[in-house]
C-alpha cells in the first residue's frame, strides 16, 4: 500500500497523460494473510422512515406478497447478498426503545412515537420475535443494540435473558409468546452513539456506565455474548482512548461511525445532482476512512496488544439531503453510481484492516441513507450499492490477497489523493476473486495483473457495474438503469490477466 501511495503521489499531476499506460497490479499470495471476516458485509436496519415498516415488514395481512409479514421481494434480494449480520433496532432509536412494548399479541402492543425520526407513530408490530425470526430466515447473526440512554440495567439484562435463557421467568414469557427454544445471540451493543443521541455522555462517564451494564448481560446456556461498547464518531480519538483505557478489558468490540457526508449543519447536497468536483471530493472523503481506522487501531493496539478487541464500523456510508417530497427525518435518499463507488472503495479498505475490523454495517439496508433496496408500495428496486455488495459476495470469509497497485492519483478538493484504479483480492477454494474500480469519469484504463505461479492457463469470468452518467440511478420507472452485466473483456496471456476498464466502472473477476 505504501508503494502505491508513493507512486501515486508522483503521478498525481499526470493522471490524464498516464491513462494509456497500463495500471499494473501484483498479488501478494501468502499463508499468513487473514480471512476477510464475512461480518464486514453486515447490514443495519433501524426503525427509521420506511426501513422496517414498509421496507421489510408489511404484516401478514398485507396485499404486498409476503411470508409471515416480511416482503418476499426484499427477502429474496437480501438472501442473494448472503447478509451475514443484521444490526437492529437502531441507531438513535435504540436508546429510546423499550423491548417489552414489542412482544405479545400484536393487537395489544402499545403505539409509540419515534422521537428521533420525524415523530412518526409506530405500532410496535415489529419487535423481538419479528427480528429474530427474520434473522433465522436470512441465516444471519442478529446484532442487538441495547438501550442505555433511557433504559435501565434491568431492562437490558432481561432482554438478553428473554432471548437466550432456556428456563426461568423470561424464558416462560417468551414461550407464552410463541417461541419455546431460545434464540442465539452473539452481538450485543451496549448503547449507540452514547456521546450524542444515546445519552450525551462524556467518555469517562460512559466507560463506567458501560462496565455496569455489561456486567448484568449474562451468558445463558452456552450462549456467548460478544459485547460491544458504543464507540467514537469518526475523528474523536479521545473517545476511543478513554474507553480502551477504562473499559477495554470488559469488551469484545468497540464501534466506530464514519459517514461520507459534506457537513452536519445545513445542506449535504443532493444524492443525484452533483458536479465532477463534488464526485471526486466524495471519493476522497470516503477514502479518508482508512486514516481514521488506522488512528483508532493505533490507540487500540496500545491498550490491547493481543488484538482481542474488535473495531466494528457499525455505521458507514453516504449521507445526502433527503429526496424532495419525502418525509423530513426519514432519510430517504437515492443511490447513484457515485454511491456504488463509495461502497467499493470502503469495502476495499475494510478488507485491508480485517485483522482488527471484525464487522461493518452499512447504513442502512432499506429505504434509508445508502440502502440496498428502495421500495414504494409493492415495488422494489435494487440500488447500485446493492450490486457492489453482490459482486463482493465471493470475498466473504475468503483469504485476503494483499495487492500492490501502480496507478495514477488525482488530487481532489480538500487536498486528498484518490487513485484512478483501486483493487482488492481474495482467494477461496483455489478461486481468486479480484475486484477493481476505475473512478475516472472519462478515461478507460488498461490493467495488467500478474497472476500467481501455476495460473498460466487460468480461466477468467467477470461481472461489471458501469453507467452512462455517474449520476445514474435506479428508480421505479427505470429499475435496471444501473445493473450488473457479464464482463467478457479479460484474458490471460503468459500468466498476466489483461483487461481494459471502462471509465467509471467496477469489475469483479473470478480466476481459477
Residues 277-296, interacting with ligand AHR (CB under 6 A): none
- Do 234 and 286 contact (CB within 8 A), yes or no? no
Q: One of 161, 193, 322, 448 is an active-site residue; which one?
A: 193
Start-end of H helices in 82-202: 128-138, 153-164, 169-176
Instruction: Output the CA–CA distances (angstroms, integers) from residue 373 to 11, 63, 74, 141, 393, in the order listed.
Output: 38, 19, 7, 20, 17
**Measured distance CA(146)–CA(149) in Å, rounded:** 9
- Do 511 and 451 contact (CB within 8 A), yes or no? yes
Which is nearer to ligand AHR, 145 or 505 (by Cβ)? 145
Residue 161 known to be catalytic:
no
- Report angle CA 258, 335, 96 to the nearest 5 degrees: 50
Which is nearer to ligand AHR, 317 or 384 (by Cβ)? 317
- What the block records as the C-alpha cell of 56 is 421489510
91 by DSSP, 3-state: which?
coil
Looking at 87-95, 98-106, 350-358, 391-399, which segment touches ligand AHR (CB under 6 A)?
Answer: 87-95
**Binding-site member from 23, 92, 408, 464 for ligand AHR (CB under 6 A):** 92
**Contacting residues for 491 by C-beta, under 8 A, at least 6 apart:** 460, 497, 498, 499
Q: What is the largest CA-CA distance in the chain?
A: 71
Which is nearer to ligand AHR, 84 or 91 (by Cβ)? 91
**Binding-site member from 22, 42, 69, 90 for ligand AHR (CB under 6 A):** 90
284 by DSSP, 3-state: which?
helix
- Report angle CA 461, 491, 6 to the nearest 5 degrees: 100
Which is nearer to ligand AHR, 341 or 363 (by Cβ)? 363
Which is nearer to ligand AHR, 161 or 315 (by Cβ)? 315
Which is nearer to ligand AHR, 91 or 462 (by Cβ)? 91
DSSP character string of 225-266: -EEEEEEEETT-HHHHHHHHHHHGGG-SEEEEEEEE-S-SSS
Instruction: Output the CA–CA distances (angstroms, integers) from residue 155 to 133, 160, 229, in the order listed.
Output: 21, 9, 17
- What the block records as the C-alpha cell of 174 is 417468551
> Is-cis flag, bond preceding 183, omega within 30?
no
Count of residues binding ligand AHR (CB under 6 A)? Answer: 10
Half-sphere exposure (CA, 13 Å, Cβ side) for 440? Answer: 26
Which is nearer to ligand AHR, 99 or 117 (by Cβ)? 117
Question: Cβ 115 to ligand AHR, closest distance in Å?
Answer: 12
Residue 193 known to be catalytic:
yes
Per CB under 6 A, 472 contacts ligand AHR: no
- Do 356 and 297 contact (CB within 8 A), yes or no? yes
Question: Cβ 363 to ligand AHR, closest distance in Å?
Answer: 4
**Binding-site member from 91, 189, 199, 248 for ligand AHR (CB under 6 A):** 91
**Measured distance CA(126)–CA(52) in Å, rounded:** 8
Question: Cβ 160 to ligand AHR, closest distance in Å?
Answer: 21
**Binding-site member from 161, 304, 315, 339 for ligand AHR (CB under 6 A):** 315
**Binding-site member from 193, 252, 304, 322 for ligand AHR (CB under 6 A):** 193
Half-sphere exposure (CA, 13 Å, Cβ side) for 25? Answer: 28
Residues 362-391, interacting with ligand AHR (CB under 6 A): 363-364, 369
Looking at 7-15, 50-58, 89-97, 106-114, which segment touches ligand AHR (CB under 6 A)?
Answer: 89-97
Find, among 401, 405, 194, 428, the residue nearest to 314 by Cα. 194
Looking at 66-74, 85-93, 147-155, 470-478, which segment touches ligand AHR (CB under 6 A)?
Answer: 85-93
CB-closest chain residue to ligand AHR: 91
Q: One of 39, 315, 322, 323 is an active-site residue; which one?
A: 315
**Measured distance CA(484)–CA(295) in Å, rounded:** 36
Per CB under 6 A, 46 contacts ligand AHR: yes
Buried b / exposed e along 154-189 (16+ C-beta atoms within 10 A): ebbbbbbbbbbbeeeebbebbeeeebeebbebbbbb
Per CB under 6 A, 440 contacts ligand AHR: no
- Report angle CA 54, 55, 56 to the nearest 5 degrees: 100
Instruction: Output the CA–CA distances (angstroms, integers) from residue 418 to 104, 136, 280, 340, in the order listed.
Output: 52, 40, 8, 16
Which is nearer to ligand AHR, 334 or 508 (by Cβ)? 334
Per CB under 6 A, 229 contacts ligand AHR: no
Which is nearer to ligand AHR, 320 or 432 (by Cβ)? 320
Per CB under 6 A, 192 contacts ligand AHR: yes
Which is nearer to ligand AHR, 315 or 339 (by Cβ)? 315
Looking at 8-16, 90-98, 348-356, 423-431, which segment touches ligand AHR (CB under 6 A)?
Answer: 90-98
Question: Cβ 192 to ligand AHR, closest distance in Å?
Answer: 5
By annotation, the residues acting in catalysis are 193, 315
Positions that interact with ligand AHR (CB under 6 A): 46, 90-92, 192-193, 315, 363-364, 369
Amino acid at each position: 500500500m505504501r508503494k502505491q501511495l508513493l507512486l501515486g503521489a508522483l503521478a498525481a499531476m499526470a493522471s490524464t497523460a498516464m491513462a494509456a499506460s497500463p495500471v499494473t497490479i501484483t498479488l501478494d499470495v501468502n499463508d499468513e494473510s487473514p480471512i476477510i471476516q464475512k461480518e464486514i458485509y453486515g447490514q443495519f436496519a433501524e426503525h427509521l422512515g420506511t426501513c422496517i415498516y414498509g421496507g421489510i415488514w408489511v404484516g401478514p395481512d398485507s396485499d404486498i406478497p409476503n411470508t409471515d409479514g416480511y416482503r418476499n421481494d426484499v427477502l429474496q434480494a437480501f438472501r442473494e447478498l448472503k447478509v451475514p449480520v443484521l444490526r437492529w433496532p437502531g441507531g438513535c432509536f435504540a436508546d429510546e426503545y423499550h423491548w417489552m412494548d414489542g412482544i405479545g399479541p400484536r393487537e395489544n402492543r402499545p403505539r409509540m412515537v419515534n422521537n428521533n425520526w420525524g415523530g412518526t407513530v409506530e405500532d410496535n408490530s415489529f419487535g423481538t420475535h419479528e427480528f429474530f425470526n427474520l434473522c433465522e430466515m436470512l441465516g444471519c447473526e442478529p446484532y442487538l443494540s441495547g438501550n442505555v440512554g433511557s433504559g435501565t440495567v434491568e431492562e437490558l439484562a432481561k432482554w438478553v435473558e428473554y432471548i437466550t435463557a432456556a428456563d426461568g421467568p423470561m424464558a416462560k414469557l417468551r414461550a407464552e409468546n410463541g417461541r419455546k427454544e431460545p434464540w442465539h445471540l452473539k452481538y450485543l451493543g451496549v448503547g449507540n452513539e452514547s456521546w450524542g443521541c444515546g445519552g450525551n455522555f462524556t467518555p469517562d462517564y460512559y466507560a463506567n456506565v458501560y462496565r455496569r451494564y455489561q456486567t448484568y448481560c449474562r451468558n445463558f446456556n452456552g450462549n456467548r455474548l460478544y459485547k460491544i461498547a458504543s464507540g467514537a464518531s469518526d475523528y474523536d480519538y479521545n473517545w476511543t482512548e478513554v474507553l480502551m483505557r477504562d473499559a477495554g478489558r470488559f469488551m469484545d468490540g468497540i464501534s466506530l461511525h464514519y459517514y461520507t457526508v459534506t457537513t452536519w449543519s445545513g445542506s449535504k447536497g443532493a444524492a443525484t445532482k452533483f458536479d465532477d468536483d463534488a464526485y471526486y471530493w466524495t471519493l476522497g472523503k470516503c477514502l479518508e476512512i482508512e486514516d481514521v481506522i488506522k488512528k483508532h487501531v493505533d490507540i487500540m493496539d496500545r491498550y490491547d496488544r493481543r488484538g482481542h478487541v474488535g473495531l466494528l464500523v457499525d455505521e458507514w456510508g453516504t449521507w445526502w439531503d433527503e429526496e424532495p417530497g419525502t418525509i423530513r427525518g426519514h432519510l430517504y435518499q437515492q443511490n447513484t453510481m457515485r454511491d456504488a463507488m463509495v461502497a467499493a472503495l470502503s469495502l476495499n479498505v475494510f478488507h485491508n484492516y480485517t485483522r482488527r475490523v471484525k464487522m461493518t454495517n452499512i447504513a442502512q439496508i432499506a429505504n434509508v441513507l445508502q440502502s440496498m433496496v428502495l421500495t414504494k408500495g409493492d415495488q422494489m428496486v435494487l440500488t447500485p450499492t446493492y450490486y457492489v455488495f453482490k459482486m463482493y459476495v465471493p470475498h466473504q470469509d475468503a483469504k485476503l490477497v494483499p495487492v500492490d497497485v501502480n496507478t495514477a492519483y488525482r488530487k481532489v478538493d480538500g487536498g486528498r489523493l484518490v487513485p484512478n484504479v483501486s483493487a482488492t483480492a481474495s482467494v477461496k477454494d483455489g478461486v481468486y476473486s479480484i475486484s477493481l474500480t476505475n473512478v475516472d469519469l472519462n478515461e478507460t484504463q488498461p490493467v495488467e495483473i500478474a497472476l500467481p505461479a501455476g495460473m498460466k492457463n487460468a480461466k477468467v469470468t467477470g461481472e461489471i457495474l458501469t453507467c452512462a452518467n455517474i449520476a445514474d440511478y435506479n428508480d421505479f420507472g427505470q429499475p435496471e438503469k444501473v445493473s450488473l452485466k457479464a464482463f467478457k473483456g479479460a484474458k490471460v496471456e503468459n500468466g498476466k490477466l489483461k483487461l481494459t476498464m471502462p471509465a467509471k466502472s467496477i469489475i469483479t473477476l473470478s480466476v481459477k
